[in-house]
């Protein structure tokens, strides 16, 4: 009974939700609406459960005077203060019929002067840690890591003013870089004596470099001799190769979700029930 | 430098900033915390911001205080939001609509023709979920959990099939060569390159995720191309993440130097 009934509930609710997608008519559409509201309500109860669990753990720590109990007291003070001013809607218009975010409400003040600075600063700290961790992790150790770094660098340049300014003041700079990269790859092919790739890459490199040098030397930088700007390149990366990779990831995730959903509905996956000792 | 000296350094640095701010406000260059409620709030927000930033040097009591407060405040914040946004209108409002309309609801709820049975079921399931906190019989919380899991599994199966599968596959089924009236050989070369990368990039990345066959020979080469496509995707995601975090940091610096210390004009 402890395991069979939950499995039955999961099966029934899952099948109803599946049916609703294919038969959007009564009673399935009404059941879908009711179950969706039930899900939202249970999610709210889960917040209450989370708060209760937090209080249970930290109050036990305080009552036993365990190491760090002072910080638990701070946590509990913040928790109960937020709860009290939110539930009783302290401050603002009289009564509790006004919005939580009403002018002068303490809940809004607690959000503005406590919750917002804490969350924004905590997440902004990640800027430093992401930078240092990525330096250690992706130090261009191999070609794949180099591709990742170059893509990130181009995105960072292109989505800020620096990228636009770079190709405005130095038109054709991207073509020169691209040509130099191709020339390096052609040199690698020459050293490995791979003549067909050398011919292909070498031709493209020569074309790109010759076209850009023609723009600089003959047209003296005038005319639209350049093909690429950093913002255009970023747009192309975002819409073409980046999207192709993202689509592959999304398709993979989707297949995983479908298989996991079927396992849950059919009762094959039971880990969410926990152990029998509960 | 030992741990005690480090702590003294952090406490000294924060103390120095506070002394500077006090002198600065006494000189009338910025609002002192005693001026108004919002000024007091700004001082407290600045203290919390500096406390969190102090972790960049080392772990210290200021950071731990701010971190503990953050945990408590955010738990309370989301609990209050859940109660007022979901429990009151969707459950209590159906069980006792007249009471809610008279005492709690910001916008009056509909009273006529309400089905109370579903709200009762929600109340019972919610109480069963909270039973998890009780010392005995916590297994009963599996019943509401089963509703949540069943709902999520049934909904996500069809939702993701549409959004993450069919809607992702169809834009990749496109002509590989883009014709053009004016371009060289009647082909739009950039458009063709774009179409080729779109189609073969997706295929290559999908082949990288296909583990049923060993990635050797031709399949190995294609899979390697798939890794490059994925690396570009991860690089873009990484770039955007860094930019987002830096934008947050700029926001906090703006708060400290413009809104609080008023060293820089708005």
Distance from CA of B57 to the nearest CA of A (A): 11
Least confident of A65-69, A169-173, B243-247: A169-173
pLDDT at B34: 82
Cα gap A80→A69, rounded to integer Å: 16
Out of A34, A124, A248, name the one closest to residue B249 (CB).
A124
Chain A residue numbers touching B65 (CB-CB < 8 A)? 71, 74
Query: Please, which pLDDT band fits residue B26 given cuts at 50, 70 and 90?
Result: confident
pLDDT at B191: 87
Cα gap A44→A34, rounded to integer Å: 15
Whether residue A277 is predicted with pLDDT greater than 80 in this model: the reply is: no
Name the maximum alpha-carbon separation found in chain A: 86
Identify which of A250-254, B183-187, B190-194 has the greatest average pLDDT. A250-254
Whether residue A225 is predicted with pLDDT greater than 80 in this model: the reply is: no
Q: Torsion angle, CA of B208/B209/B214/B216, rounded to 10 degrees?
A: 0
Contact B52 A238 (CB under 8 A): no
Cα gap A88→A100, rounded to integer Å: 10
pLDDT at A138: 65
> For residues A167 and B215, which has the higher predicted lDDT (pLDDT)?
B215
> For residues B134 and B69, which has the higher predicted lDDT (pLDDT)?
B69
CA distances from B13 to A122, A238, B6, B40 (A): 19, 43, 11, 21
Contact A121 B53 (CB under 8 A): yes
Out of A118, A124, A260, name the one closest to residue B248 (CB).
A124
pLDDT, mean of residues B236-257: 90
pLDDT at A224: 66
Out of A50, A118, A151, name the one closest to residue B236 (CB).
A151
Contact A10 B129 (CB under 8 A): no
Chain A residue numbers touching B231 (CB-CB < 8 A)? 144-145, 147-148, 151
Question: What is the end-to-end Cα distance of chain B in Å, rounded?
Answer: 40
Contact A265 B154 (CB under 8 A): yes
Query: Please, which pLDDT band fits residue A118 given cuts at 50, 70 and 90?
Result: very high
Contact A130 B202 (CB under 8 A): no
CA distances from A72 to A65, A229, B71, B84, B211 (A): 10, 54, 10, 26, 47
Whether residue A102 is predicted with pLDDT greater than 70 in this model: the reply is: yes
pLDDT tens track for A133-167 = 777 766 667 788 888 888 888 888 888 888 788 77
Contact A149, A142 (CB under 8 A): no
Q: Which residues contact A96 (CB under 8 A, 6 or more apart)?
A: A88, A89, B103, B104
Cα gap B203→B219, rounded to integer Å: 11
Contact B78 A153 (CB under 8 A): no
Does this model's pTM top 0.90? My answer is no
Place of tokens 């303490």: A106
Segment B254-261 long-range contacts (CB within 8 Å, at least 24 positions apart):
B255/A117, B255/B45, B255/B46, B255/B49, B256/B46, B256/B49, B256/B50, B259/B42, B260/B21, B260/B30, B260/B42, B260/B43, B260/B45, B260/B46, B261/B21, B261/B24, B261/B30, B261/B46
Contact A261, B153 (CB under 8 A): yes
Proportion of chain B above pLDDT 70, given as a percent: 98
Cα gap B14→B50, rounded to integer Å: 7
Q: Torsion angle, CA of B220/B221/B223/B226, rounded to 10 degrees?
A: 170
Rounded to the nearest 10 degrees, what angle do helices B116-130 and A28-63 cross at? 30
The length of chain A is: 278
Whether residue A112 is predicted with pLDDT greater than 80 in this model: the reply is: yes
pLDDT tens track for B118-137 = 889 999 999 999 999 988 88
pLDDT at B165: 92
Chain B residue numbers touching A272 (CB-CB < 8 A)? 145, 149
Whether residue B39 is predicted with pLDDT greater than 80 in this model: the reply is: yes
Whether residue A177 is predicted with pLDDT greater than 80 in this model: the reply is: yes
Whether residue B49 is predicted with pLDDT greater than 90 in this model: the reply is: yes
Out of A97, A112, A127, name the one closest to residue B246 (CB).
A127
Place of tokens 């390159």: B193
Out of B65, B151, B242, name the one closest to residue A13 (CB).
B151
pLDDT at B237: 92
Chain A residue numbers touching B41 (CB-CB < 8 A)? 109, 112-113
Average predicted confidence (pLDDT) for chain B: 88
Least confident of A48-52, A60-64, B25-29, B179-183: B179-183
Domain positions in chain B are 3-144, 171-253
Q: Torsion angle, CA of A196/A200/A202/A203, rounded to 10 degrees?
A: 130
Tell me the backbone φ, ψ of residue A180, rounded to 5 degrees: -65, -40
Query: Please, which pLDDT band fits residue A48 given cuts at 50, 70 and 90?
Result: very high
Proportion of chain A above pLDDT 70, given as a percent: 94
Query: Please, which pLDDT band fits residue A27 given cuts at 50, 70 and 90?
Result: confident
ipTM of the complex: 0.83
Q: Please report which helix (H) or strand (E) contains residue A124, including its range.
A: helix A116-137
Cα gap A260→A269, rounded to integer Å: 8
Cα gap B136→B126, rounded to integer Å: 17
Which tokens sit at A209?
Answer: 């470099």
pLDDT at A147: 86
Which tokens sit at A112?
Answer: 């503005």
Chain A residue numbers touching B72 (CB-CB < 8 A)? 54, 74-80, 82
Whether residue B188 is predicted with pLDDT greater than 90 in this model: the reply is: no
pLDDT at A278: 59
DSSP output for B184-253: GGGB-HHHHHHHHHHHHHHHHHHHHT--SS---HHHHHHHHHHHHHHHHHHHHHHHHHHHHHHHHHHHHH
pLDDT tens track for B94-125 = 888 888 888 887 777 776 666 788 889 999 99
pLDDT, mean of residues B41-60: 91
Which of B152, B193, B198, B232 to probe the A interface (max A CBs under 10 A)? B232
Cα gap A76→A54, rounded to integer Å: 8
């Amino acid at each position: 009974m402890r395991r069979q009934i939950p499995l039955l509930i999961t099966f029934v609710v899952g099948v109803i939700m599946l049916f609703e997608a294919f038969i959007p008519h009564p009673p399935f559409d009404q059941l879908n609406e009711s179950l969706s509201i039930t899900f939202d309500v249970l999610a709210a109860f889960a917040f209450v459960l989370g708060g209760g669990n937090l209080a249970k753990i930290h109050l036990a720590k305080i009552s036993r005077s365990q190491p760090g109990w002072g910080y638990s007291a701070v946590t509990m003070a913040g928790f109960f203060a937020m709860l009290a001013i939110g539930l009783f809607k302290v401050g603002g218009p009289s009564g509790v019929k006004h919005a939580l975010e009403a002018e002068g409400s303490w809940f809004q003040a607690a959000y503005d002067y406590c919750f917002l600075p804490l969350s924004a600063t905590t997440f902004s700290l990640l800027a430093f840690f992401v930078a240092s961790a990525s330096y250690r992790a992706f130090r261009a150790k191999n070609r794949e890591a180099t591709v990742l770094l170059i893509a990130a660098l181009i995105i960072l340049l292109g989505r800020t003013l620096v990228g636009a300014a770079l190709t405005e003041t130095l038109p054709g700079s991207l073509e020169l870089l691209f040509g130099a990269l191709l020339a390096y790859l052609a040199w690698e092919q020459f050293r490995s004596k791979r003549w067909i790739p050398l011919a292909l890459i070498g031709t493209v490199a020569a074309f790109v470099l010759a076209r850009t040098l023609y723009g600089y030397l003959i047209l003296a930088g005038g005319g639209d001799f350049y093909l690429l700007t950093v913002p255009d390149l970023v747009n192309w990366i975002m819409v073409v190769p980046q999207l192709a990779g993202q689509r592959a990831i999304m398709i993979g995730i989707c297949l995983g979700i479908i298989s996991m959903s079927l396992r849950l509905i059919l009762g094959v996956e039971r880990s969410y029930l926990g152990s029998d000792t509960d | 430098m030992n741990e005690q000296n480090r702590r003294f350094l952090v406490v000294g640095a924060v103390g120095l900033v506070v002394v500077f701010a006090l002198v600065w406000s006494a000189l009338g260059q910025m609002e002192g915390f005693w001026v108004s409620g919002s000024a007091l709030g700004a001082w407290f927000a600045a203290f919390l911001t500096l406390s969190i930033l102090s972790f960049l040097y080392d772990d210290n009591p200021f950071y731990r205080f701010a971190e503990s407060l953050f945990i408590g405040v955010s738990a309370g914040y989301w609990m209050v939001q859940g109660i007022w946004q979901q429990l009151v209108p969707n459950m209590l409002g159906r069980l006792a609509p007249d009471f809610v309309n008279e005492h709690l609801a910001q916008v009056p709820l509909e009273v006529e023709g309400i089905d109370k049975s579903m709200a009762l079921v929600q109340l019972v399931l919610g109480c069963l979920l909270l039973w998890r906190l009780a010392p005995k019989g916590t297994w009963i919380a599996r019943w509401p959990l089963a509703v949540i899991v069943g709902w999520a599994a049934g909904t996500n199966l069809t939702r993701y099939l549409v959004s993450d599968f069919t809607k992702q596959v169809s834009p990749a089924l496109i002509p590989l060569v883009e014709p053009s009236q004016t371009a060289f050989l009647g082909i739009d070369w950039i458009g063709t390159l774009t179409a080729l990368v779109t189609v073969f990039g997706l295929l290559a990345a999908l082949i990288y995720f296909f583990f049923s066959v060993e990635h050797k020979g031709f399949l190995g080469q294609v899979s390697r191309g798939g890794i490059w496509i994925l690396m570009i995707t991860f690089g873009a995601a990484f770039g955007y993440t860094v930019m987002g975090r830096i934008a947050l940091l700029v926001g906090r610096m703006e708060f400290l130097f413009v809104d609080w210390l008023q060293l820089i004009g708005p």
